[in-house]
Structure 1
Amino acid sequence: MKFDTKAVHAGVDPDPSTGAIMTPIFQTSTYVQQSPGNNKGYEYGRVQNPTKFALQNSIAALENAAHGLVFGSGLAAIDAVLKLLKPGDEVITSNDLYGGTYRIFTQVFENFGIKFHFVGMGNVSNIENYINDNTRLVWLETPTNPMMNIVDVRKAATITKKHKLILAVDNTFASPALQNPIDLGADIVMHSVTKYLGGHSDVVMGALAMNDEPLYKRLAFIQNSCGAVAGPQDCFLVLRGIKTLHLRMQRHCENGEKVARYLSNHPKVDKVYWPGFESHPNHSIAKAQMKGFGGMISFTFNEDDMQQSFKVLERLKVFAVAESLGGVESLANHPATMTHGAVPRKDRMEIGLLDSLIRLSVGIEDAEDLIADLEQAIG
């Protein structure tokens, strides 16, 4: 089945009791049993819910995976993966990643004796320099947040398989419409479902997808034991959002390219980070492992002046200044003070995340209006 058809149909069957074409919202905390253990597979809402099951099946299908799990947030999904580890274990991850991921790594799980190595992954072979007997997990994003760096997932998977490590890939920026890390050899794919999968800025949710059944059972046990579940109404909203994922991503990509090329020619703009440029580091890898370059763009000004960036953000009229990304509406973000505030300034500067850097989530409005808005704001 082609992706566009899967987006509309995968995981969703007519309701057997009514024939409803949309999966109903099963808003219940528990299920009546005819006698103890005679429960038709449903016991308690934290563990089983038909609306949740439909969404998990849909996300698994979109990622070409056998199993899916949905969580109360993207960070809850990351938390579950890290709970596969024990004190003394080590993780190799990118030095350019979402600020919330950096925060949970350094301010939560380091306190439990997990060691993290933050490594530049432009050349993914760098991973091998940090592998030792305690290494258990490699965690990467591609494209990265917010520098839009591209990591070679297939090559990373070759390394992790050789050393019998788990490879987890945050696929939030690409979405399954543009990239499928499972097909490239990843063991776990993570999504902040809040973003492109939901697509309408009305849900907070996370998801994991994987093929390995023992790994799935371990993560399902962790979720059930720790309680980081998604509610049925939110699952319903995401099921609805996924039906237009392929159409939305097409428009995000089209608008993203137009905005990126406009910014690259602006006299006040210094650097534009967008993997569709042939000059972008690892552009050839992005072209090989992605079906499009997405609607996420970061850029800096000729002078690294935070106040200049603030003034531009304050003048925007169509772009909304807000955290998050991947909704139908265009958003503008100042990572240094918003999404990446937990990352020390020294570490930010080393990867190019300057005080002037602005991150755009280009929505599905008319591209001419978006460019006009940036034109009047930048001046």
Structure 2
Amino acid sequence: MHIHPKITPIYQTSVFKFEDLNELELYFGEPGSRYLYSRNGNPNSDELAEAVNRLEGGVGAVATGSGMAAIFAALLAFCQAGDHVLCAADIYGGSSSLLNQELSRMGITVTYVPFEELYALDRFVQPTTRLLLCETMSNPLLRVADLRRLADGCHGLGLKLVVDNTFASPIITRPLALGADVVLHSVTKYISGHSDVTAGVTVAADAAVAARLKQVGVLYGLTLSPMESWLAVRGLKTLHLRMPAHSHNALAIAKFLQQQPAVRAVYYPGLPDHPQHVLAQEQGGGLFGGMMSILLADDATVVNRFMQRSQRFPFAPSLAGVDSSLSYPLGTSHRYLTPEQQAELGITVGLVRLSVGIEPVEELLADLAQALA
């Protein structure tokens, strides 16, 4: 009986069978010709990696168990003990914690570069500096990096550019096409898109780097499970429909929130008064994504009241699902920065991050209106 499924089945197996020693030798002689053990590769995780690789225009990718694992793989692809990395000061708190608490123990040091100085890296570079890690749109203040300019600056100094493209997704920006060396995603967010998967993907522009990513993934055991891979691929199929919907809703909400007396500031690249609005428009093809931050009064009581009253934006410290949610950077993603670092980045008591979903926008506007009233 021949079975021809339209959708890749879930290969929920840890290991694959071999006929004999000849088949075993074929496995090692022709990499990618067959499967041995799911940590080394599984049809489902390979399908996800290849799908994101295609979207980002890479030459190879690895699917990982989380976005953090994707960041770890990207850094280890280029770094060893004694090396130094540059990191944009505006970065996801998990990225800075990984660098500060764990990679420092492996002898990899870091210097944080303020956003205003990203295009003048020479004063931060050391003989052992290997790369710059940054985000297309920063978390949580949505500052937009000029990736082509950054790539040129990095390459002129002999550095690699590693870009976390989670907030933008490849629908809005493709960093490799702008000169980046590696692009990574928390697949948990927009790529999967339904708040039911934890996963990551790291994509390389160069075949040798792609091979190194694969090695790091296998030997550190960063591999993604078949079930999570299958769900992520399922979610990915609607990414090109979801991103315009997220962007449309977010722009309407950002404009509305600018008019509300209780809102002191709105950080959203789609607003004409955003400092990088023109760049975001060019780099994103007219889409600005579903993420924004707003500044309420720097008073926990006010923030609590807003969170308690809102029905359509539950406080759920992640982002990018089809359903809207809100998060609180000071208490979650950026909790472990020093008070000085938090103040420098503008992460204060009143800062709330909104992840705008794809629900009917009038329902979201009505909810925000009553929550702020």
- Confirm or deny a common fold (TM above 0.5): yes
Measured after TM superposition, the shift of residue 350 of structure 1 is: 0.8
Alignment equivalent of 1:321, drawn from 310, 315, 324: 315
The one-letter code matched in structure 2 to 1:254 is H
Q: What SS does structure 2 have at the residue aligned with 1:132?
A: coil
Residue 300 of structure 1 is matched in structure 2 by 295
Residue 217 of structure 1 is matched in structure 2 by 211
Alignment equivalent of 1:201, drawn from 173, 195, 203: 195
Residue 18 of structure 2 is matched in structure 1 by 33
Alignment equivalent of 1:261, drawn from 255, 259, 264: 255
The one-letter code matched in structure 1 to 2:251 is E
The one-letter code matched in structure 2 to 1:276 is G
| TM-score for the superposition, normalised by structure 2 | 0.94
The one-letter code matched in structure 1 to 2:19 is Q
Contact kept? 1:124, 1:152, Cα under 8 Å? no
**Deviation digits for residues 116-164 of structure 1, max 9, x if unmatched?**
1111224531322211211101000121000100111101100121222
Contact kept? 1:122, 1:149, Cα under 8 Å? no
Contact kept? 1:124, 1:155, Cα under 8 Å? no
The one-letter code matched in structure 1 to 2:3 is T
Q: Distance in 2 between matches of 1:378 and 1:117?
A: 40
Residue 7 of structure 1 is matched in structure 2 by none
The one-letter code matched in structure 2 to 1:27 is Q
The one-letter code matched in structure 2 to 1:29 is S
Number of equivalences: 363
Using a 3 Å threshold, how does the CA distance of structure 1 residues 244 and 60 change in structure 2: closer, same or farther?
A: same
Query: Superposed, which structure 2 residues align to 1:1-379 within 5 Å?
Result: 18-39=3-24, 40-84=33-77, 85-291=79-285, 292-301=287-296, 303-379=297-373
Q: Distance in 1 between matches of 2:103 and 2:46?
A: 29
**Deviation digits for residues 10-42 of structure 1, max 9, x if unmatched?**
xxxxxx962211111011111111112505521
Measured after TM superposition, the shift of residue 240 of structure 1 is: 0.7
Q: What SS does structure 1 have at the residue aligned with 2:180?
A: coil
Q: What SS does structure 2 have at the residue aligned with 1:137?
A: strand
Residue 3 of structure 1 is matched in structure 2 by none
The one-letter code matched in structure 1 to 2:136 is T
Is 32-41 or 153-162 further displaced after alignment?
A: 32-41
Q: Distance in 1 between matches of 2:22 and 2:85?
A: 41
Contact kept? 1:171, 1:181, Cα under 8 Å? yes
Residue 28 of structure 2 is matched in structure 1 by none
Q: Distance in 2 between matches of 1:101 and 1:142?
A: 14
Q: Distance in 2 between matches of 1:122 and 1:41?
A: 49
The one-letter code matched in structure 2 to 1:176 is P
Q: Distance in 1 between matches of 2:131 and 2:45?
A: 28
Residue 5 of structure 1 is matched in structure 2 by none
Q: What SS does structure 2 have at the residue aligned with 1:38?
A: helix
Fraction of identical pairs, as percent: 37
Q: Distance in 1 between matches of 2:10 and 2:98?
A: 32
Contact kept? 1:51, 1:235, Cα under 8 Å? yes
Is 80-89 or 92-101 further displaced after alignment?
A: 80-89
Please, which runs of 5 or more residues in structure 2 have no aligned partner?
A: 25-32
Q: Distance in 2 between matches of 1:122 and 1:140?
A: 13
Q: Distance in 2 between matches of 1:365 and 1:227?
A: 37
Using a 3 Å threshold, how does the CA distance of structure 1 residues 18 and 311 change in structure 2: closer, same or farther?
A: same
The one-letter code matched in structure 1 to 2:17 is V
Q: Distance in 2 between matches of 1:306 and 1:139?
A: 32
Q: What SS does structure 2 have at the residue aligned with 1:324?
A: coil
**Deviation digits for residues 343-370 of structure 1, max 9, x if unmatched?**
2222111111111100000001111111
Please, which runs of 5 or more residues in structure 1 have no aligned partner?
A: 1-15
The one-letter code matched in structure 2 to 1:371 is L
Contact kept? 1:93, 1:118, Cα under 8 Å? yes
The one-letter code matched in structure 2 to 1:286 is A
Using a 3 Å threshold, how does the CA distance of structure 1 residues 322 and 17 change in structure 2: closer, same or farther?
A: farther
**RMSD of equivalent CA atoms:** 1.4
Measured after TM superposition, the shift of residue 210 of structure 1 is: 1.2
Measured after TM superposition, the shift of residue 211 of structure 1 is: 2.0
Q: Distance in 1 between matches of 2:332 and 2:364?
A: 22
The one-letter code matched in structure 1 to 2:64 is F
| TM-score for the superposition, normalised by structure 1 | 0.93
The one-letter code matched in structure 2 to 1:296 is M
Is 331-340 or 197-206 further displaced after alignment?
A: 331-340
Is 80-89 or 98-107 further displaced after alignment?
A: 80-89
Contact kept? 1:122, 1:282, Cα under 8 Å? no
Using a 3 Å threshold, how does the CA distance of structure 1 residues 372 and 222 change in structure 2: closer, same or farther?
A: same
Q: What SS does structure 2 have at the residue aligned with 1:269?
A: coil
Q: What SS does structure 2 have at the residue aligned with 1:79?
A: helix
Q: What SS does structure 1 have at the residue aligned with 2:115?
A: coil
Q: What SS does structure 2 have at the residue aligned with 1:186?
A: coil
Q: Distance in 2 between matches of 1:182 and 1:42?
A: 29
Q: Distance in 1 between matches of 2:255 and 2:162?
A: 32
Q: What SS does structure 2 have at the residue aligned with 1:68?
A: strand
Measured after TM superposition, the shift of residue 255 of structure 1 is: 0.2
